[in-house]
Structure formats: C-alpha cells, structure tokens
Structure 1
C-alpha cells in the first residue's frame, strides 16, 4: 500500500510517501480502506518530537473509509483503550497513529469497536475531518462544561478545527457563541457558521470588551490555548466554567488564585473523549446536519505541503487528505 512514513522525527520534509506492506490485523481488528484522513496539531507535535515513540511510523488519527470485511462505510474513533470510566481515560490509553500505524495510508488496521457508521449526509472528506476535532469540541462543551441552551460561550482562537466545531456545535445547541481571534477575516468567517460576535485578542482591553458586551461575563470558555488562563478567567461571570483542551499558546499559565475562589469558577481539563462521547457527537452531527468546516484538501502525495500549511496557522477549519479519489 501507499503511506506517508516518518523515518526520523523533525520537520515536515521528514514525511516520505512510500510503498509499504499492507497491515495485518491483530485479533479483534479489521482493515479499513481509507477514502480520506485529516491532519491535527497532535500530528505535528508527534512528527517534531517523537514523544518517545519509534520510527518508522505512519501518523494520523482521523480517517473514514470502507470496512474490508463487510463493505460498510465507516468513520474511525481515534482513541485506543479509553477504559471503562467516562470521567477520564485509563492507564492504557493511546491514540491511533502514535504507537500504532495511523491513517496517512491506503489501509489501516483498527479494533472493530473503533468503527462507527459514517453519517450519511457527509462526504468522505467531511467525515474524515470529524473524529479528533469534533470529539474534542463535543466533550469539552457538553460532557465537561455542560453547556446549556441560552448560555453564552466564548471560544478562544477562531480558526482551528476544534474551535470551528465548537462554534457550530454551540450554535446548534442554542447557545450564544462568541469567539476571539487575531484576524478580522477569521472572525467574519466563523460568524457565518454561528458565532454572534468576535473580539481581537490583539486588543489590550479585549477581556473588558467581552465582559461589557455580555453584561458581566460569559457562562463558559472553551480554550485550546492554555497560557492565557488569567484572561480566560477574567471573561467568566461569577460561577462560570472553563474547559481547557490544549496549550497552543504555552504550557504554563499564571493567574491570581483569589480570582478563582472568589469568582467560584470551575476549571475543567479535557482531551478527546470516550466511545460514548463519540457516539453522542455523531448523533448530534446527524440530528443538526452539521458539516465540518474544511480549509483545504490535499492528495496524500502532498503530505509535506499539507503539514507545512497546518504549521503556518493560516488555515480556518480542517486540513484533509484524500487517500483514495472517487
């Protein structure tokens, strides 16, 4: 089969499209012929650092395709060994494409329990854009932050796959969705998919703008940035909650602890989601006929350029690979 292989951790040009042996399924696994896959920031970090995993490696956690055993159209749940608890993953938790070969390929072998029916209203490219980012947004907003109809949610950093899903999911649930960005163009783009207002985080008083515009702060903040936790807390109304799913702006955050307890705030950590979350997310997507925001599509042969585009941070929504053309 054809696959994008990493032989040495580093820059995007370490990715090489090659012919490699087809995977052999282990017990409880099936082969999926991939029609499309998509890129995540996790892939970039793994490609750059290796995180202790070995090479050669085929990256990729997102994918949609056809089960070779049944011929069914399927979408892949990207987590391995979540465990029995809904509250957090277990000690054997892993991600497809880390220690196992992933979806940057013609074929992938995955546990049969990781295969869910592809939503019928989605194209292959849209389905492949959904797993990691859609799951992360859904669990952050609904399982963890318990966002309710009529509440106001602020999504930090309009542009990423997770943030565009958070906007569309929040709007579909009847919440008032606000966003931040460094770009007026990105704010206007996400307003077209459900955001009611946007704020430039390059403005020194953007937190005050949020508080004033909402009459005292928002109910929920969804953050993949991490480092600006003090500003995020400053946007909350008393009793508000913040769900943190990433640390793209930095791994260390500093804030005044009294603001936390006097504000009665709740800080929630979240990552990806359980099989239950994934099934509920797919039901939500089908109920509301939600379509992912796709920034661009690339042939698997163009994997290096696709990774470089992701690293440029100029994208809005998901970057998708076409593994097998129609």
Structure 2
C-alpha cells in the first residue's frame, strides 16, 4: 500500500461568487480518520448542480446572503472542499473500524446523517457541511462508505452517487411501481437520465421532457416517450394522464404538471433549475387529492438499493466528459452549457 502523504492536492472554495472562488492547492493537510471513520483515496468525483449552487449562494433566500447559502440553510464553513460524487479506495480506518475494509473500492453516500458514529439532528451533504471529493483524500463515517463490486471504471462509478441516489430517493418517496406512468422533467441531466433508468428498472412507463435535439438519445436511454420542453403537455399527454411527476425544473410552466396528474397523483421535486418560484392554485392540490414530496434527505434504504442495481447491471453510467481536477473551472463551465447528457466527472489523479 502506498504511504499516505501529509499534504494533498485539493480544490478549495474560498467564498461565494464566480469561478475565481475555486482555488487549486497542493498544500492541504490530508485528513485523518476519527474512530468510526475511513480515509478514502479519491479516484474520481462527479460535478453537480449543488456544487455550483453552493458556490454562487443560489440556495440563499436572502438575496445571495452567505448566512444561509448552503442547501441546509446555514452558513458554510470556508474554505471548503466540495464534491458529493465520490468513488475511491479505503486506505486507512479509525480505531473502531475493521481493518479488513482497507483496500475496498467504495462509493460514498452523499447524504451524511452521522459523524464519527453520532447521529446528526439535521443531515449534512458531502461537500457542503463537510469536506467532499474534490481532493486526493476524504474522510467519512464507515457507514457512509459502501463497497461496490463492479467492472465499471472509477470515472463511471463516480457518475452514480449524487444523481442516481437523488433519483432513486424521489422514486422511493413517490412509491413508483410497475403500474405507474411517470413524467420526468429535465430528463437529459444527471438526475433526470438516472430517473429514466431507475423508473424503468421498477417497470414503470416513462415519459421524458427534453430538448428536441436530445429526444432520440432519451428514447435510446429507455424512455417510452419523449416530449419537447416547448410542447403543450396537455395537448401531448392529456389532462389526468400521469400518475407521478418527477420534477427537477419547476419554473413558470410548473402549474401544468398538476393538470396532467391524475386524481390521487404524486409529485416529487428535488430541483428548480427553471425557476424556484411557482404559482400554485391550492384548489388543484386538494380537489385532486395530490401528494407532494420534497426530496433531499435520502430514505434509509435508498443508497443500498442503488449499489445493488449497479452490481446487478440494472443501470448504466452516462459519462459525457471527464477533466483533471486542475481543470474544475472548465468542467463547471461545460456543465452549465447543458449541452451534454449524463455526468461530467473529475479525475483526481489524472
């Protein structure tokens, strides 16, 4: 086993703002695992909306005020190492962790509910309330490091944790089954493309909303039907035609989702890239007996179920581009152009 260096290279977020707030360093102290933790040598880490939203203080409800600029609504402790999608190898363990875990290839569950064996009152997110994977090494509790037995590459595996667990969590909370017709917004993004695969793995019928240019790729991914984001959904699908809406977009067209939902339908949301403020006619909510699910904290079974689907080959990775860690600015710029399908991944030692 290679020796663990005293210092590591990492990208640190030094404040809220533009890409200049991301600083590449080679003199960051390598973390040490506490009693219930493992030290992971990071091989690859995916780029997500949450990285950019955190950097720009998008989560703030106070005009980008840094006092509430994390997804949990609290101030960040800066400098911070971001990165919620992590694939790597356990290289050291704390005193309460079985030494046999050293050498395991793992994925980190990004929703952190315990630190050094103690349950958190409010869960953290990897790379937000604690340091994440945009670094050579990172530490998490052993319970959040899941061994994965797969022939997929590290880059491919790093495309799964955040997007796919978010999608699986939405489908779990909305109780999607093989009897459901599911409408997915933002279908070409990381979570949307994951939701297509995971909904199909449950046997559901999937209708995906995407751009006209990406329609065929979305069909090839498994969607039963793809509609354009510019289409009139009521004309295309009909009122009361959908059992479940998996929404990552929101925005001004949001009210139509409630129109296409059947009475008793379920709406699950974990993103608002089209606009966070929407107009809700509360009568539609109660007269149609709709159920709404906000989805951030993972249900207990979600990540373990995701690992099983990966190992059984029920879902496949979608890696659009990869960059070395030093080029994180280029990776985030490519991410924001939204020209890709799937994930953009940083190779930490490339």
> TM-score normalised to the size of structure 1?
0.91
Give 1:25's match in structure 2, choosing from 33, 53, 65.
Answer: 33
**Cα deviation per residue 1:43-85 (whole Å; 9 max; x = unaligned)?**
10111125221322111111011100311111111121269xx
| Rounded Cα–Cα distance in structure 2 between residues aligned with 1:263 and 1:315 | 36
Q: SS of 2:51's equivalent?
A: helix
Q: RMSD value over aligned CA atoms?
A: 1.9
1:80 aligns with 2:84: no
| Conserved 8 A contact 2:114-2:141 | no
- The aligned runs of 1:183-202 (5 Å cut-off) are 183-202=211-230
Structure 1 residue ranges (4+ consecutive) displaced by more than 3 angstroms after TM superposition:
none
Q: SS of 1:27's equivalent?
A: coil
Equivalent residue, structure 2, for 1:164: 193
- How far did 1:275 drift? 4.1
- How far did 1:274 drift? 3.4
**Which is richer in helix?**
1
- The aligned runs of 1:1-326 (5 Å cut-off) are 1-19=8-26, 20-49=28-57, 51=69, 52-69=75-92, 70-81=102-113, 91-141=121-171, 143-181=172-210, 183-203=211-231, 205-211=232-238, 216-227=240-251, 228-325=253-350
Task: Structure 1 unaligned segments of length 5 or more: list them.
Answer: 84-88
| Rounded Cα–Cα distance in structure 1 between residues aligned with 2:329 and 2:345 | 13
| Conserved 8 A contact 1:211-1:217 | yes
**Cα deviation per residue 1:119-141 (whole Å; 9 max; x = unaligned)?**
41322112111111111100111
Question: Bigger CA drift: 61-70 or 248-257?
Answer: 248-257
| Rounded Cα–Cα distance in structure 2 between residues aligned with 1:164 and 1:234 | 24
> TM-score normalised to the size of structure 2?
0.85
| Rounded Cα–Cα distance in structure 2 between residues aligned with 1:33 and 1:299 | 15
Q: SS of 1:66's equivalent?
A: strand
| Rounded Cα–Cα distance in structure 1 between residues aligned with 2:206 and 2:25 | 44
| Conserved 8 A contact 1:133-1:165 | yes
| Rounded Cα–Cα distance in structure 2 between residues aligned with 1:82 and 1:198 | 40
Equivalent residue, structure 2, for 1:86: none
Q: SS of 2:344's equivalent?
A: strand
Structure having greater relative contact order (Cα 8 Å, sep ≥ 6):
1
- How far did 1:40 drift? 1.0
Q: SS of 1:278's equivalent?
A: helix
Task: Structure 2 unaligned segments of length 5 or more: list them.
Answer: 1-7, 58-65, 70-74, 93-101
| Rounded Cα–Cα distance in structure 2 between residues aligned with 1:288 and 1:238 | 35
| Conserved 8 A contact 2:233-2:260 | no
